[in-house]
Amino acid sequence: MRHYDSSVKISRDELLEIINESISAPSACNLKSWHFVIVDTPEGKKKIHDFLMPFNYPQVDTAPATIMVFGNTKSYLKYRDLWNGMVEEKKV
């Protein structure tokens, strides 16, 4: 999709509900090393133009919201502490 119906609106509450449902899914070692940024204002859309390639502008400009997903590539460093804590709490 390159263009969306700009008359369609998705509320921030609905977007948060979608994200909250999604993050309940398991992840590798349950580290859940993801972060989400909802961009749904004209000011926010203008800001992300600086980070995107121009061929992405039509999607960002016409979509009711853009959800940017970021992953922590260093989350594996917490793996040992996570599992040791779970053993101490008798969760494994």
Q: Where are the domains of the chain?
A: 12-88
Percent of the chain with pLDDT over 90: 45
* Whether pLDDT at 92 is above 90: no
* Whether pLDDT at 89 is above 70: yes
pLDDT tens by residue, 13-46: 999 999 998 888 777 777 778 889 999 999 999 9
pLDDT tens by residue, 37-68: 999 999 999 999 988 999 999 999 999 999 99
The size of the chain, in residues, is: 92
Q: How far apart are CA 52 and CA 58, in angstroms?
A: 11
pLDDT band at 90 (very low <50, low <70, confident <90, very high): confident
Would you say 40 and 64 are in contact if contact means Cβ atoms under 8 Å apart? Answer: yes
- The CATH class that applies to domain 12-88 reads alpha beta
Structure tokens at 80: 């040992």
